[in-house]
Amino acid sequence: MSVSPPATALVLEDQDETRLHLLVALGLAFPGIDARGARTLREARALLDPPAARPWTPDLALVDLVLPDGSGIDLLRQISDRPGDTRAVVVTIYADDGHLFDAIAAGACGYLLKDMGADDLVRYLHRLEEGETPLSPAIARRMLGYFRDQPRVPDTLEPLAALTPRETEVLRLIGRGLRSGEAAKVMGVAEQTVAGYVKAIYRKLNICSRAEAALEAARRGLV
Amino acid sequence: MRVSSPSTLLLGVVFFCIAAALTAVSLSTGPTWLGVGLDAASADGPVVVARVDTDGPAARAGVRVGDRLVAAAGIPLTGQSLDDDDSQATQALSDAAMRRHDAMAEALKVRPVRLTVQSPGGPVRMVTLEDRPRPLSTLGVEFWANLSFGLIAALICGWVWALRPRELATQLFALTGLSMLAFTFGWAVHASLELAMDAAVLEPVLWLNMGGAVAYGGAMIAFFLSYPRRVTRLPLMLLAPVCVGIWAALPLLPGNPSLDSLGQGVTVIEMALIVVAIGVQAFASRKDPAAMAATRWLGLSVILGAGAFIVSVAAPASLGRGSLIDPRFALGFFVIIYIGMAVGLRRHKLFELDQWAFRILFYLGAGAALLILDAVLLAVLRYSPEASLGAALLVVAFAYLPFRDVLWRRTVARRTMKDHEMFAAVAQVALTHEAGARDAAWRDLLARVYEPLEIAAAPPGTDLARAAIVGEGVAMSLPPAAGAPALLLRFPARGRGLFGTAQLQLADQLASLLGQIEEGRDAYARGVVEERLRIARDLHDDVGARLLSGLHRKELSQTHEAMRGAIGDLRAIVSGLSGHELPLDDVLADLRHETAERLAAAGLTLDWPPPEDDAPGPAAPYRVYKNLTSTCREVISNAIRHAHAQRVAVTVHQSRERLDMIISDDGVGMPREPGGRRSGLANLQRRLGEIGGEVEFPDVAQGTVVRLSVPLNLGPAT
Find the CATH number of the domain harbouring B667.
Answer: 3.30.565.10
Q: How far is CA B636 from CA A123, B99, B567, B642, B705, in A?
A: 20, 131, 19, 10, 11
Q: Which amino acid is at B682?
A: A
Element (H, E) at A70: strand A70-71
Does B251 have pLDDT greater than 90? no
Asked if B177 and B158 touch (Cβ cutoff 8 Å), the reply is: yes
> Is the same domain home to B363 and B437?
no
> Is the same domain home to B541 and B615?
no
Q: Residues of CATH 1.10.10 domain(s) within chain A?
A: 137-219
Closest partner residue to B575 (CB to CB) among A94, A174, A179 is: A94
Does B145 have pLDDT greater than 70? yes
Nearest to B627 by CA among B537, B710, B534, B563: B710
> Is the same domain home to B98 and B223?
no
Residue segments in chain A with a per-residue pLDDT below the cut of 50: 1-2, 155-160
Rg of the Cα trace of chain B?
A: 48
The per-residue pLDDT for A24 is 92
When mean pLDDT is compared across B529-533, B671-675, B678-682, the lowest value belongs to B671-675
> Is the same domain home to B407 and B547?
no
Q: Which of B133, B148, B174 is the last residue of a domain?
A: B133
> Is the same domain home to B266 and B372?
no
Class (C level, CATH) for A8-129: alpha beta
Asked if A9 and A133 touch (Cβ cutoff 8 Å), the reply is: no
Q: Is the reported ipTM for this assembly greater than 0.85? A: no
To probe the interface with A, which of B573, B584, B593 has the most A CB atoms within 10 Å? B593
Q: Residues of CATH 3.40.50.2300 domain(s) within chain A?
A: 8-129
Closest partner residue to B601 (CB to CB) among A97, A123, A172 is: A123
The per-residue pLDDT for B615 is 65
Q: Is the residue at B662 inside a domain?
A: yes
Q: Is the residue at B450 inside a domain?
A: yes
Q: Is the residue at B644 inside a domain?
A: yes
Print the domain residue range for B64.
Answer: 35-133
Asked if B613 reaches chain A (Cβ–Cβ under 8 Å), the answer is no
Angle formed at CA B236 by CA B230 and CA B237, multiple of 5 degrees: 125
The per-residue pLDDT for B382 is 59
Nearest to B87 by CA among B210, B330, B315, B258: B258
For B505-553, what is each residue's pLDDT tens digit? 888 888 888 888 888 888 888 888 887 887 887 787 778 877 887 887 7
> Is the same domain home to B12 and B40?
no
| A146 CB burial (10 A radius; 0-12, 13-18, 19+) | middle
Specify the CATH number for the domain of residue B42: 2.30.42.10
Nearest to B194 by CA among B140, B128, B120, B147: B140
Q: Which of B563, B579, B595 is the last residue of a domain?
A: B579
Q: Which of B110, B133, B156 is the last residue of a domain?
A: B133
| CA–CA distance, B624 with B657 (Å, rounded to integer) | 12
B47 DSSP β-pair partners: B40, B69
Cβ separation B593–A96 shorter than 8 A: no
Closest residue on chain A to B585 (Cα) = A176
> Is the same domain home to B166 and B240?
yes
Closest partner residue to B571 (CB to CB) among A96, A137, A176 is: A96
- Could you give the count of Cα atoms lying within 13 Å of A162 in the half-sphere of its Cβ? 10
Cβ separation A177–B590 shorter than 8 A: yes
CA–CA min distance A37, chain B (Å): 24
Angle formed at CA B585 by CA B584 and CA B591, multiple of 5 degrees: 90
Greatest Cα pair distance in chain B: 160
- Average pLDDT (B651-663) is 86
Nearest to B391 by CA among B361, B399, B365: B399
pTM above 0.90, yes or no: no
Q: Is the residue at B717 inside a domain?
A: no
> Is the same domain home to B193 and B298?
yes
Q: Name the domain count of chain B.
A: 5
> Is the same domain home to B344 and B369?
no
| CA–CA distance, B341 with B294 (Å, rounded to integer) | 9
For B371-417, what is each residue's pLDDT tens digit? 677 667 666 665 666 666 666 666 666 676 667 666 666 655 555 67
Q: Is the residue at B718 inside a domain?
A: no
The per-residue pLDDT for B321 is 65
For B279-293, what is each residue's pLDDT tens digit? 898 888 888 777 777
Cβ separation B570–A138 shorter than 8 A: no
The per-residue pLDDT for B717 is 42
Q: Does domain A137-219 have CATH number 2.40.30?
A: no
Does B301 have pLDDT greater than 70? yes
The string of DSSP letters for B122-181 reads S-EEEEEE---PPPGGGG-HHHHHHHHHHHHHHHHHHHHHHHSTT-HHHHHHHHHHHHHH
CA–CA min distance B563, chain A (Å): 9
Specify the CATH number for the domain of residue B425: 3.30.450
Phi, psi of B10 (to 5 degrees): -65, -35
B643 pLDDT band, cuts 50/70/90, is confident
> Is the same domain home to B656 and B625?
yes
Asked if B670 and B620 touch (Cβ cutoff 8 Å), the reply is: no
3-state secondary structure (DSSP) of residue B72:
strand
> Is the same domain home to B372 and B280?
no
Cβ separation A98–B611 shorter than 8 A: no
> Is the same domain home to B365 and B503?
no
User: Strand B68-72 vs strand B47-52: parallel, antiparallel, or unpaired?
Assistant: antiparallel
Cβ separation B591–A177 shorter than 8 A: yes
Angle formed at CA B312 by CA B216 and CA B139, multiple of 5 degrees: 70
Q: Is the residue at B152 inside a domain?
A: yes
Category of A128 on φ-ψ map: left (φ > 0), alpha (ψ -120 to 50) or beta: alpha
Nearest to B140 by CA among B328, B380, B327: B328
The contact set of A with B (CB < 8 A) is 93-98, 114-115, 117, 120, 123, 136-138, 141, 172-179, 182, 186
